[in-house]
Structure 1
Amino acid sequence: MKTTNTIAVSAIALLAVSSPALAQSGGSAPPSAGAEDVMPAQEAAAPADDEIIVTARKRSEGLQAVPIAVSAVTASSLEQRNIVRLDQMSAVVPNATFKTAASIPTEVQPFIRSIGDRSSEPSQDLSNAISIDGVYLVNIAGSNVDTFDVEQIEVLRGPQGVLQGRNSTGGAVNIRTKRPSGELHARAMVSYERFDALQLKGYVEAPLAQDVLAVKLSAFRTTGGNYSRNVITGERDTGGIRAAGGRIGLLFTPSSDFTAYLTADYSKDSSPPPAVRAANHSGSIAAPYNGAYAQPQPRVCALFQECSTYAPYTNAFSLTGPNHSKNRGLALNLDWDIGGITLSSVTGYRAVNQMTNIDLDATPSMIFNLQPRNVRIRAFSQETRLASNGDGPFSWLVGGYYLRSRIDLERTSVLGGPLFGQPVGVTSTGTQFRSPDTDSYALFGQLSYQITDQWDISVGGRQSWDKKSLVSTPTATSGTGVFKRDFNAFTMEATTRYRFTPDTLVYLRFAQGYRSGGFNGAATTLAGINSFEPEKNDAYEIGLKSSWLDRRLKLNLTGFYYDYRDLQLIAIDQAPGIGLIQRVINAKGLRASGIEFETSFSVTDNFTLTGNLSYLHTKYRSQILNLGFGNIDLADAKRQYAPKITGMVQAQYSIPIGDNKLVLNGSLNYRSLTQLNDVPTDVAMQKAYALVDAEIAWHLPDDRVTLSLFGQNLTDKYYKAYGDANGGLFNLVIDGRPRTYGVRATVKF
């Protein structure tokens, strides 16, 4: 019934807002010069001069014209909101959470409309596709990339199983770097904020051959920001960033028909762990939130007498590193207009070397450490597309995709004696090796037809084949096993779009997403290694995109419903002599529905309001499973990172002062009650909260120099970014960042 009501409300709202009567009574200004009441077919796809351009459908389209729910975060917005890495994107994307992995700061775990997971298991693919310049990231390792030298980040909400590549049941995150302009320019930025956080970013670009070859060099360095104090050492040692890197970009345009863009990037990250602290309550506690289970005494309290719950922003780590991650990448984008057809090619190579030393229990005792955990990834991908670029009513796109990835993991576990029946002070060490490899192939295509000047339809499909293998040595005495399995799926999408006016459209979309299966590589015996099945998501979406008052006011509304099947969940078991064992299992399914409202209003030339408001309802199908804390009926559990209500409002006011200007920015972000993992324990519950950010910026003419004073979480609101009972062994919490404030200066030449 709730699902039916959600879709009904969405449909009624769309019909009301888009009806001709309301359009006429809205008091909008006359259309801009040259616009007609009915927009011709080819003009309908063209963006307005001031509109953000997105490539959600592998073509350049205006954000207000593309029939997909997509958020485009520009470089200026990233800087103004002080978004340094992907895990800070939650504040600007409706119905989305971007979180750091529980123990590994270089890994980001996106949840889009509740679809995502908190696994760091390399045998498992991502459920939300992340790409840089069209090159897909095959694994979570090294995914929490810095936002330096970024032109725009597009977050597509909803499955993208046709054009955006593999494993996109929840959505896609497309990162576009800044291409060389072909002119001599340079820009530098430096910022300093609370907790000794320092950012240095800059680039220089120049023509190498006028109008033919241009180069761009960019670099960044970020240090400091640790806000959690170690009660043993007295030092602030977790929660910050220590990373540096650079990119070189070459743009080759020998003619108007051919473009080649080559980038090579390198980064090194030795950041400390997130701000994790132990929350080992000494006995059973009452759950303050409806639906949460009271937590019994953690085993670390009974066995090791580690019963302390440390205060917010403190920790008792006995091990915080060293951690090292190196990312290297190459991307070559080619576009060639060969007369009515454009040939596009995206060739990519990504390499990640990640070494982490992790104190999983976050206590002073030797209970469960990983010393070290090494991950090595090598991935090559090739995508080739042919697309029409003519003026007829038909347009089409066909392509093929190939991916080859090789992953090696070595994990050494160091366990305290009581976990395997020995006294405190005795330790057990075990090393596990595994190599999950993937060869993936796909053929895809999309066909669009302009039925009338106002109405068009498109259909598309993708056939995917995944060949998976795993070589695993679970323990020193287990021997080595080789496992192989093939997966395949056909996914499709169909969209129809109708324009009531040049600035108002309604669309209906059906889309499927596919996430490949794999092997449970974390098993501690060869007999325990099993394969898990692929996921599939059928999504139905209805949307309105509209502009009013001479395009000063934008109002967008989206309603959606998901039928999500065989979703891959993380379960945690306790194994004597091994510690915690993470398993990947398939649940029957999940239903999700929601409404998203987005708006932007240029009240005057100097005053702008933007905002979004989202409602999300999720419900597991009834199924008894042990997710690490005893058997529960999933129908009684909340979906992790799926708050019912999220919202953001931002105001920007510019005050001209001679040739300069003063810009004031302020925003508020709200999240309702959120469960931070799928096991409904007290430690996993975060009550509703709101965060307030602000910036004051002084701009010299042409933005040659900008000086800013900024603050985040200005009310110093405490909130948890993560909470987990870890199978009853120990309780962990990650504290969200407290109030920060700082200064920033940018200079352009």
Structure 2
Amino acid sequence: MSRPVVVEAASPKQHTLKTKEQSKLLSGNKNVHRSVLSVKPVQNNTSPEQISVSTARHAFKFAAQQNEANSDTHLSSEILKQQVVTSFTGLQNLAPNVSIQQQSGGASTNFYIRGVGMTDLTQNNTQSVMTYVDDVLFPYSTMASGSMFDVSAVDIKAGPVGFTHGQADTGGEVVIHTNDPTSTWHGGISEDIASYNRSITEGYISGPISRTLSFRLAGQTMHGGGWQYNPYDNRHLGNANEGALRGKLKWNPDENTEIKVSGHWMQDDSELINGTSATNSLASHPINLVSLSPSSPAGSFVLPYKQTAWTTNPDFAALVGRNASMKPSEHNLMWGMDVHASHNFGYVTGESISAYESEREHEYTDMDSSIWGTNGAYRNIVANSFTQELRLRVTDPNKRFQWLVGAHYNRMRSAQETYWDFSQMTPTRGYLSETPYNDNQQTFSQYAHVSYRLPHNVTIFGGINHEADDRQLRNLSTTNFGGSYVCGTSLCHPNTTTLSFADSNANANQFSGEVGVQWRPIQQVMTYVKVSKGFKPGGFTANNTVVQAQLNPTKPETLMAYEVGVKADPIPNKFRINASAFYYDYHNQQILNTFVVPGYGALGRYTNAPHSQIWGIEVSTQIHPIAHVYLTGNIGYERGVYKNYQGINSSAVYAHFQQTGVWAPVYNNYNNTDSGIPKLTMNGTADYRFNPIHSYEMTLGTDWSYRGAQALVPGGMQTYGYHLPAYFLMGLHASFRPNNGRWNVSVYASNLLGRKYYTSGGVSTVSEYWIPGAPRFVGGRVGCDF
């Protein structure tokens, strides 16, 4: 039972508190899971205005989000720290029907929500799942690298988006919220040390500069953690070497105006996690010194789990301007700045977001995962993005009629160079290759969203988005240096050949939208149903290009989404359950498949599947059954099927080459074929919190996750090497801290059972590779805050 406390104020100005500031003060309280502050004005005609303050236990977070008609997953900073989430990929173990994977083990990240996503091979397309940091669009997934520090919360949004902010999309969004400056002084530092000499150091300081101006400066460094090694030369691989800074200024010139200026910088010189070859189709260069997997067919090989193989051709290193001893690694610089301004005009509030993001990526990957020079890749990307967004919305969230209108503009410019080492891929290639080009994009969208609260706790809502997208691929050419077909060894002859290609364009202009209704039959239960249409423009495959047909743009994709859901707290502070069911009708789905050039080989290219379908269910629970025990769980089940799609059968193409030495396309009718998305995902935590000593709290807990098998190419579920096996992971964690949150000590173990599993993969020239997940890590963290 809560106990009210009355605070008397001499004048209205003396007790005025902003709602935002209240929430920030509460979010900064380390004991926010134990209590919540309720502030209510008390009016009477004879005494000064009063504020009634009461406290009540609050077991679960994100209470306000229980009123939203969506199936979003909301993750607090506490769960991110507990699970040691330092990159986007760690989020997939905290939400249902979500896959977030590294492309070829590098900086590009592939996002899939409910089976909708894109393999980001070349960074020339709009992602099916958008990434935002503090409401700023990051059109390339690599641009957001190094953002997962000093985070206040993460939202994972499923389904078509673009009706209340940003750009339209088909799959959803991953939204990162970082901590803002505070009006009082705060600071902290933490050190995390774990297996394989991994260390993560974080720190921040925040406080006022003047009565109206405050700041926040936060940073992170990561080092070590490499657990792979090359059995051929015993060189180790995978050590992190990353540093990041973020600074924010917040200015409130008056009570109705807020201006925030922020800037960030990230330098990443980390080594990569390299793949292991699941199958090899080049008989002249077999993968030796390996252990044959007893369950795999002839010609399929798997190195021992912590081993990987790569090669560095000195001629290739010289061509890209790197040292001959280079390992698969990044050499990236990301930086940007943004300005957020808002002003309360009374009935409406106006907002403006201006942002500039810059990317300098230099990445070396050994895609064939072998000691042979059959598919080494080096990428140079210089890119920048400018976005401008304007919004106007109703100020008072309690009004019956709510509306919001806005416009978003994004302009991208990039210059890319991709280098390939095919020096030992003979007899068809046997040379080094370079493909440079320019990629220009701009997108302009306008959106509006309205809702109206009817009697009997019924609310109807709807939104619309119109988006115009224009992109051009310019000045693309491919130069081949030397070749075994000339004199038998790479670069032994100054022979070069250059192929030039015509420019390519992709334009799109479409509407998307949503309509729905939500109903709260009783206080503890909210139900909703909605129908939405998502839209994503087409794009290009600017890969190793040898024929003009490779540059044909994909068509835009559209998705009709039908969703019904319920959010309930049937026993407040004891039991919460959210559930949803969805059906997606997908048209012109953009997928990465194989393109075969006879006499040359197999290449990756984006194509459209004219019609496919996805359906599934999701259930998320939070349970506090008895004192000290806290349980969370997510279960997602989904199925995808191609209804109309005829494409290359990648496994048949490689099998034919292995048998005959000839590259030839083999087509399949994939109608009614499973699309290969993970059918079942489960994850959760179980914590026991108690006070072993007065004013001190201890938490003991476990966490787990399960992910079903996933196809790497259409039809890949039926062939070894072309799909990732299912896996189950388990971890333990414990922490100890005083109730005032001034310091904390924690220990943890991830992949406690030492499972051997694979998190992503792909198909290269002659190898189908898997990217292994981390082995068992045991670590500890010490932090202090003031």
TM over 0.5: yes
Q: 2:408 aligns with which of 398, 401, 409?
A: 401
Structure-1 residue corresponding to 2:439? 436
Mark the CA change 1:676 to 1:572 in structure 2 (over 3 Å): closer, same or farther.
closer
Report the RMSD for the aligned CA atoms in angstroms: 2.3
Structure-2 residue corresponding to 1:743? 780
Give the letter for the 1:410 counterpart: E
| Alpha-carbon shift at residue 580 of structure 1 (Å) | 4.7
1:488 matched to 2:488: no
Query: 5+ unaligned residues in a row in structure 2: which ranges?
Result: 1-36, 41-55, 291-300, 313-326, 480-497, 652-665
Mark the CA change 1:34 to 1:387 in structure 2 (over 3 Å): closer, same or farther.
closer
Distance 1:68 1:378 in 2: 33
1:412 matched to 2:419: yes
| Alpha-carbon shift at residue 69 of structure 1 (Å) | 0.8
Query: 5+ unaligned residues in a row in structure 1: which ranges?
Result: 1-31, 36-47, 55-60, 281-297
- SS of residue paired to 2:143: coil
CA-to-partner distance for each residue in 1:223-251, whole Å, 9 max, x for gaps?
A: 1111212112223313x432111000111
Give the letter for the 1:75 counterpart: S
Mark the CA change 1:232 to 1:622 in structure 2 (over 3 Å): closer, same or farther.
same
Whether the 8 Å contact between 2:59 and 2:573 is mirrored in structure 1 is no
- SS of residue paired to 1:273: coil
Structure-2 residue corresponding to 1:42? none
Give the letter for the 1:678 counterpart: P
1:537 matched to 2:559: yes
Structure-2 residue corresponding to 1:270? 269
Mark the CA change 1:506 to 1:183 in structure 2 (over 3 Å): closer, same or farther.
same
Structure-2 residue corresponding to 1:462? 465
Give the letter for the 1:646 counterpart: T
Distance 2:760 2:668 in 1: 21
- SS of residue paired to 1:77: helix
| Alpha-carbon shift at residue 675 of structure 1 (Å) | 2.8
Structure-2 residue corresponding to 1:292? none
Whether the 8 Å contact between 2:168 and 2:467 is mirrored in structure 1 is no
- SS of residue paired to 1:331: strand
| Alpha-carbon shift at residue 50 of structure 1 (Å) | 4.9
Greater Rg, structure 1 or structure 2? Answer: 2
Structure-2 residue corresponding to 1:16? none
Mark the CA change 1:578 to 1:428 in structure 2 (over 3 Å): closer, same or farther.
farther
Give the letter for the 1:716 counterpart: G
| Alpha-carbon shift at residue 137 of structure 1 (Å) | 1.1
Structure-2 residue corresponding to 1:682? 720
Q: 1:389 aligns with which of 395, 418, 427?
A: 395
Please show how residues 5-404 of structure 1 align to structure 2 within 5 Å. Answer: 50=58, 62-104=64-106, 106-210=107-211, 212-238=212-238, 240-280=239-279, 298-300=280-282, 302-306=283-287, 308=290, 309=301, 310-319=303-312, 320-370=327-377, 372-390=378-396, 391-404=398-411
Mark the CA change 1:511 to 1:209 in structure 2 (over 3 Å): closer, same or farther.
same
Following TM superposition, the consecutive aligned residue runs of length 4 or more in structure 1 with deviations greater than 4 angstroms are 32-35, 48-54, 574-580
CA-to-partner distance for each residue in 1:664-701, whole Å, 9 max, x for gaps?
A: 12112122333344341311334433211111111123
Q: 2:634 aligns with which of 612, 637, 640?
A: 612
- SS of residue paired to 1:162: coil
| Alpha-carbon shift at residue 393 of structure 1 (Å) | 2.3
Whether the 8 Å contact between 2:392 and 2:404 is mirrored in structure 1 is yes
Distance 1:577 1:323 in 2: 33
Give the letter for the 1:92 counterpart: L
Mark the CA change 1:653 to 1:585 in structure 2 (over 3 Å): closer, same or farther.
same
Structure-2 residue corresponding to 1:651? 686
- SS of residue paired to 1:141: helix
1:697 matched to 2:741: no
Distance 1:693 1:195 in 2: 17
Mark the CA change 1:398 to 1:197 in structure 2 (over 3 Å): closer, same or farther.
same
Whether the 8 Å contact between 2:439 and 2:471 is mirrored in structure 1 is yes
Mark the CA change 1:469 to 1:213 in structure 2 (over 3 Å): closer, same or farther.
same
| Alpha-carbon shift at residue 305 of structure 1 (Å) | 3.1
Structure-2 residue corresponding to 1:285? none
| Alpha-carbon shift at residue 80 of structure 1 (Å) | 0.5
Distance 1:482 1:725 in 2: 27
Whether the 8 Å contact between 1:428 and 1:577 is mirrored in structure 2 is no
Structure-2 residue corresponding to 1:670? 706
Whether the 8 Å contact between 2:428 and 2:600 is mirrored in structure 1 is no
Distance 2:583 2:549 in 1: 39
Q: Which moved more, 1:227-236 or 1:399-408?
A: 227-236
> TM-score, normalization: structure 2?
0.82
Whether the 8 Å contact between 2:747 and 2:780 is mirrored in structure 1 is yes
| Alpha-carbon shift at residue 375 of structure 1 (Å) | 0.9
- SS of residue paired to 1:635: coil
**Identical residues among aligned pairs (%):** 21
Mark the CA change 1:418 to 1:544 in structure 2 (over 3 Å): closer, same or farther.
closer
Distance 1:191 1:707 in 2: 10
Give the letter for the 2:138 counterpart: L
Distance 2:616 2:261 in 1: 40
Distance 1:352 1:143 in 2: 10
Whether the 8 Å contact between 2:415 and 2:436 is mirrored in structure 1 is yes
Whether the 8 Å contact between 2:628 and 2:690 is mirrored in structure 1 is yes
Structure-1 residue corresponding to 2:475? 472
Whether the 8 Å contact between 1:52 and 1:62 is mirrored in structure 2 is no
Give the letter for the 1:663 counterpart: T
| Alpha-carbon shift at residue 717 of structure 1 (Å) | 1.3
Mark the CA change 1:407 to 1:52 in structure 2 (over 3 Å): closer, same or farther.
farther
Distance 1:647 1:460 in 2: 32
Distance 2:571 2:385 in 1: 49
Distance 1:358 1:613 in 2: 34
Give the letter for the 1:457 counterpart: I
| Alpha-carbon shift at residue 552 of structure 1 (Å) | 2.5
Mark the CA change 1:171 to 1:418 in structure 2 (over 3 Å): closer, same or farther.
closer
1:525 matched to 2:547: yes
| Alpha-carbon shift at residue 539 of structure 1 (Å) | 0.3
Distance 1:708 1:261 in 2: 34
Whether the 8 Å contact between 2:356 and 2:386 is mirrored in structure 1 is yes
Whether the 8 Å contact between 2:215 and 2:249 is mirrored in structure 1 is yes
1:732 matched to 2:732: no
CA-to-partner distance for each residue in 1:414-468, whole Å, 9 max, x for gaps?
A: 212443447xxxx412211111211111111011111115001011100000011
Whether the 8 Å contact between 1:199 and 1:220 is mirrored in structure 2 is yes
| Alpha-carbon shift at residue 554 of structure 1 (Å) | 0.8
Structure-2 residue corresponding to 1:294? none
1:558 matched to 2:580: yes
Whether the 8 Å contact between 2:411 and 2:442 is mirrored in structure 1 is yes
Mark the CA change 1:51 to 1:346 in structure 2 (over 3 Å): closer, same or farther.
farther
Mark the CA change 1:726 to 1:417 in structure 2 (over 3 Å): closer, same or farther.
closer
- SS of residue paired to 1:306: coil
Distance 1:260 1:76 in 2: 28
Q: Which moved more, 1:624-633 or 1:459-468?
A: 624-633
| Alpha-carbon shift at residue 102 of structure 1 (Å) | 1.4
| Alpha-carbon shift at residue 74 of structure 1 (Å) | 1.2
Give the letter for the 1:733 counterpart: W
| Alpha-carbon shift at residue 483 of structure 1 (Å) | 2.5
- SS of residue paired to 2:229: strand
Would you say how many aligned residue pairs link Structure 1 and Structure 2? 672
CA-to-partner distance for each residue in 1:552-584, whole Å, 9 max, x for gaps?
A: 311111011000110111122354797652211
Distance 2:632 2:61 in 1: 18
Mark the CA change 1:709 to 1:467 in structure 2 (over 3 Å): closer, same or farther.
same
Structure-2 residue corresponding to 1:509? 530
